[in-house]
């Protein structure tokens, strides 16, 4: 159990931790000199075998609030400290607001310095605390009167915390490992060390991890959890990782960076869709207001884009987008806090919803419905009920939704997401790393559209054997990647709704045929082509004899070639199929007689010029019937025209 302190400066947080644990969490010389906590400190007392308890002591001075926020990421329980002489102070209020925004719902209150006041003052401060916590998630937190000076009440507080740690149920690790770095330092002989609270997943010594946002990979050389050497750590642990790898250097990693599992290939982002809540005490928030953003241990600048209006009133919530000045990392459910541009007051905070928002259509009804479903999903701890968000996503994308991006946002593997989709809301197409989900209505509509396009092409181009795959992809589903389109075609072949004929796709039973006008022209051209079979008239000759445009003649001859009546040897040279078979037999005879096919002999046998003979042999090369070896040829595929 990780306990984080909260409270106003000089209310005795560090002294109380020392009384509870015997450990002084102020480690910096400046902290010792000033008697003031500046950076978060840590204490890991020995409780009992199998029971782990850690304290994160955060600064209380308003100038170091960013350090308090960095130290509060991932804590389980809050220890709110209020001095009996001062009572509730400005930072007491702000720290409670922050804990509530971060979703901390377990805590204990310590009323310190009770030796300095009488009972009536204690009662007065207790009422202040109760009023402050009313309406927050810590409203029912137990309160203990303590004095770090005399030790009064410390034992009772310790017993409660130790008992809570013993009763703490280890949460089942969810998703990939993620840690927001709150400290970076180098140790002689060991190298780079980063620390933070594991927000999800598991990590083990020897694992490969990814640094975000710089993208470098590193290996976990050594690992400590709760300040003890360990072979592994998991969600909820305070972790120190000794990292090694190319580019893993002290000046390339900062507080607020992330260490994530190697498999979590999440891109660094600058836009993050969120559910935003404004504090009751905050001024109204206008669209595009500049703010300080605290996410995990990161502190960065950015602006708030409101998605459901131009102004957010105090105490209200709205879907919005954080537009950050520098890259950041987030997954669904991550908590954040925003402060005003001057860094003086806390404005509000909320929950990260989607780390890969679109550039356009951010305020469309479908997009807002998707974000609202995510917000409802993220209102509880993971594992999430994903039925409604997935349904909203598939309704929003009738052309299909990339499941890889959804899986990254949910911090789970795409393989774990596929069965959830297919069990409840839709169908998934997978091919060559592409994974796209469709609602059942959308996938059926896509199938119908593909079949209709094939039918329309048959109607418009009856001489075609079908529609080429690439063309059909462009016509029926231009946004669907080719591998996924081929996967969908296989399903349609399997169900008998479409047939495959080489590169062509057709309806079952389709037979290519010329239309009436083209058939009449073919009857006119065929005798002319057969009159001089080895040296038939070219397209321009047929056009001249028939009084037609060359393009029209070429169109009819090409259609006949598709039907197998002709072979197009050159652009303007078409040979009857029967003639082409004869030429192939001549080539085969020459091969039998001489062991090779020579141009001169082939020319003499068919009685044409050398140029045309070469064109015919090059055609045979192209279709794989012959293979050229220097200036001669041999038969490559004897069965081609048997």
CA distances from 581 to 195, 587, 590, 609, 640 (A): 77, 10, 14, 20, 10
Residues 68 and 161 occupy one common structural domain: yes
- Mean pLDDT throughout 180-188? 91
Could you read off the pLDDT of 225-253 as tens digits, one per residue? 998 999 999 998 999 999 998 878 888 89
Q: Assess whether pLDDT exceeds 70 at residue 33.
A: no
User: In whole angstroms, what is the distance from residue 545 CA to residue 553 CA?
Assistant: 11
pLDDT tens per residue, range 468-493:
899 999 999 999 999 999 999 999 99
Asked if residue 492 and residue 630 are part of one domain, the reply reads no
Q: Is the pLDDT of residue 642 over 60?
A: no
- 8 and 151 inside one domain: yes
Q: What value, to the nearest 5°, has the Cα angle with vertex 335 and ends 333 and 340?
A: 145
Number of compact structural domains in the chain:
4
Query: What residues does 51 pair with on adjacent strands?
Result: 48
**pLDDT digit string (tens) for 332-379?**
999 999 999 998 999 999 999 999 998 888 999 999 999 999 999 998
Q: End of a domain among 167, 196, 224?
A: 167
Boundary-marking domain end, from 245, 261, 277 = 261
Confidence of residue 31 (pLDDT cuts 50, 70, 90): low
Residue 581 CB contacts under 8 Å (≥ 6 apart), including other chains? 641
Name residues whose C-beta falls within 8 Å of residue 348's C-beta, 6 or more positions apart in sequence.
101, 276, 277, 278, 279, 282, 285, 337, 338
Q: What is the pLDDT of residue 636?
A: 84
pLDDT tens readout for residues 384-411: 888 889 988 898 888 889 999 999 999 9
Determine the Cα–Cα distance for residues 112 and 153; give it in Å rounded to an integer.
9
Residue 81 and residue 229 share a domain: no
- Please check whether residue 374 lies inside any domain of the structure: no
* Domain shared by 185 and 148, yes or no: no
pLDDT at 620: 93
Pair 417, 424: CB distance under 8 Å: no
**Given this model, what pLDDT does residue 639 score?**
54
Does residue 277 fall inside a structural domain?
Answer: no
**Cis check: omega of the bond before 41, within 30 degrees of 0:** no
Round to whole Å and give the CA distance between 486 and 488.
5
Dihedral angle over CA of 270, 271, 275, 277, nearest 10 = 60
pLDDT in tens, 104-126: 999 999 999 999 999 999 999 99
What sign does the dihedral 186-192-193-194 (CA atoms) show?
A: positive
Residue 336 lies in a domain: no
Give yes or no: residues 27 and 128 share one domain. Answer: yes
| Residue 395 falls inside a structural domain | no
Contact criterion met (CB below 8 Å) for 396 and 390: no
| Residues 77/126, Cβ–Cβ less than 8 Å | no
Q: What is the CATH number of the domain that holds 227?
A: 2.40.30.10
Q: Which domain holds residue 209?
A: 178-261
What the block records as the tokens of 605 is 């046998």
Q: Is residue 302 part of a domain?
A: no
Domain CATH code at residue 143: 3.40.50.300
Confidence of residue 11 (pLDDT cuts 50, 70, 90): very high
Does the pLDDT at position 327 exceed 80?
yes
Q: What is the token pair recorded at 329?
A: 């990392």
Question: What pLDDT digit, counting tens, does each position of 524-583 carry?
Answer: 999 999 999 999 999 999 999 989 999 999 989 988 888 878 999 998 899 999 999 999
418 C-beta neighbours (distance < 10 Å), count? 17
At residue 32 the predicted structure's pLDDT band, cuts being 50, 70 and 90, is: low
The alpha-helical segments, DSSP class H, found in 511-576 are 516-531, 539-546, 550-562
- CA distance linking residue 628 with residue 74, whole number of Å: 72
Is pLDDT above 60 for 616?
Answer: yes
In a domain, 434, yes or no: no
Look up residue 252 and give its DSSP letter: G
Give yes or no: residues 141 and 36 share one domain: yes
Q: Does 301 reside within a domain?
A: no
- Give the chain's mean pLDDT: 91
Distance in angstroms (rounded) separating the CA atoms of residues 104 and 198: 16
Task: Tell me the pLDDT band of 466, cut-offs 50, 70 and 90.
Answer: confident
Residue of 193, 199, 261 lying closest to 234 (CA atoms): 199
Looking at residue 74, what is its pLDDT? Answer: 80
Give the pLDDT confidence score for residue 197 in this predicted structure.
92
Q: Which CATH number do you get for residue 500?
A: 1.10.10.10
Residue 353 lies in a domain: no
Do residues 197 and 54 both lie within one domain?
A: no
Interval 249-307: pLDDT, tens: 888 899 999 999 999 988 878 999 999 999 999 999 999 999 999 999 999 999 999 99
Write down which residue in 195, 227, 261 finishes a domain: 261
CB neighbour list of residue 258: distance below 8 Å, 6 or more residues apart: 178, 179, 180, 181, 211, 212, 213, 296, 329
Q: Are residues 150 and 57 in the same domain?
A: yes
Clarify whether residues 48 and 112 are in a common domain: yes
Specify whether 606 is located in the same domain as 489: no
Question: What does the pLDDT look like over 37-95, one tens digit per residue?
Answer: 778 888 999 888 878 888 988 887 777 677 788 778 788 899 999 999 999 999 999 99
Give the mean pLDDT of 2-27.
90
Those residues with Cβ within 8 angstroms of residue 571's Cβ, 6 or more apart along the chain or in another chain: none
State whether 585 and 613 are in the same domain. yes
Q: Can you read off the two tokens belonging to residue 178? A: 């993620």
């Amino acid at each position: 159990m990780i306990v984080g302190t909260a409270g106003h400066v000089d209310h005795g947080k560090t002294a109380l931790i020392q009384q509870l644990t015997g450990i002084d969490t102020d480690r910096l010389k400046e902290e010792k000199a000033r008697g003031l906590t500046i950076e978060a400190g840590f204490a890991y007392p020995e409780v009992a075998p199998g029971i782990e308890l850690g304290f994160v002591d955060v600064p209380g001075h308003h100038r170091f609030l960013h350090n308090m926020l960095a130290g509060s990421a991932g804590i389980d329980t809050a220890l709110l400290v209020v001095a009996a002489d001062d009572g509730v102070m400005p930072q007491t209020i702000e720290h409670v607001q922050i804990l509530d925004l971060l979703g901390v719902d377990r805590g204990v209150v310590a009323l310190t310095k009770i030796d300095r006041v009488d009972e009536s003052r204690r009662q007065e401060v207790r009422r202040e605390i109760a009023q402050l916590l009313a309406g927050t998630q810590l409203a029912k937190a137990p309160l203990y009167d303590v004095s770090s000076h005399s030790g009064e009440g410390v034992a009772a507080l310790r017993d409660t915390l130790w008992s809570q740690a013993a009763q703490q149920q280890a949460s089942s690790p969810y998703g990939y490992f993620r840690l927001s770095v709150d400290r970076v330092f180098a140790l002689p002989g060991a190298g780079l060390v980063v620390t933070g609270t594991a927000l999800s997943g598991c990590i083990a010594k020897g694992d490969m991890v990814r640094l975000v946002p710089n993208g470098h990979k590193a290996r976990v050389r050594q690992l400590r959890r709760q300040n003890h050497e360990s072979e592994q750590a998991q969600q909820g642990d305070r972790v120190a990782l000794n990292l090694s790898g190319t580019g893993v250097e002290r000046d390339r990693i900062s507080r607020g960076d992330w260490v994530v599992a190697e498999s979590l290939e999440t891109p660094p982002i600058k836009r993050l869709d969120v559910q935003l809540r404004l504090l009751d005490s905050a001024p109204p928030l206008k669209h595009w207001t500049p703010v300080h953003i605290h996410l995990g241990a990161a502190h960065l600048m950015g602006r708030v884009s409101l998605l459901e209006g131009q102004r957010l009133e105090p105490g209200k919530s709205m879907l919005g987008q954080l537009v950050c000045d520098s890259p950041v990392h987030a997954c669904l459910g991550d908590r954040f806090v925003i402060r005003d541009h001057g860094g003086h007051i806390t404005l509000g905070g909320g929950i990260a919803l989607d780390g890969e928002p679109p550039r356009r259509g951010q305020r469309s009804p479908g997009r807002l419905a998707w974000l609202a479903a995510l917000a409802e999903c993220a209102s509880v701890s993971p594992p999430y009920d994903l039925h409604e968000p997935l349904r909203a996503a598939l309704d929003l994308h009738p052309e299909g939704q990339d499941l890889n991006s959804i899986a990254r946002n949910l911090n789970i593997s795409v393989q774990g997401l596929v069965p959830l989709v297919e069990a409840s809301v839709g169908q998934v197409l997978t091919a060559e790393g592409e994974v796209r989900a469709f609602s059942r209505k959308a996938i059926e509509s896509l199938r119908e559209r593909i079949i209709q396009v094939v039918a329309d092409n048959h109607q418009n181009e009856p001489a075609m054997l079908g529609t080429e795959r690439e063309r059909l992809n462009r016509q029926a589903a231009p946004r669907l990647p080719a591998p996924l389109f081929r996967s969908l075609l296989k399903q349609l072949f399997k169900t008998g709704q479409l047939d495959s004929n080489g590169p062509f796709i057709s309806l079952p039973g389709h037979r290519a045929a010329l239309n009436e006008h083209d058939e009449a022209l073919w009857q006119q051209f065929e005798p002319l082509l057969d009159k001089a079979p080895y040296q038939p008239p070219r397209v321009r000759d047929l056009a001249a004899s028939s009084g037609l445009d060359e393009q029209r003649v070429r169109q009819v001859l090409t259609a006949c070639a598709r039907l197998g009546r002709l072979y197009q040897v050159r652009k303007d040279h078409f040979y009857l199929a029967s003639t082409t078979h004869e030429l192939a037999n001549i080539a085969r005879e020459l091969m039998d007689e001489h062991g090779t096919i020579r141009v001169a002999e082939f020319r003499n046998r068919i009685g044409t010029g050398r140029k045309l003979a070469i064109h015919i042999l090059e055609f045979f090369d192209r279709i794989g019937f012959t293979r050229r070896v220097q200036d001669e040829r041999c038969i490559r595929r004897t069965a081609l025209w048997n």
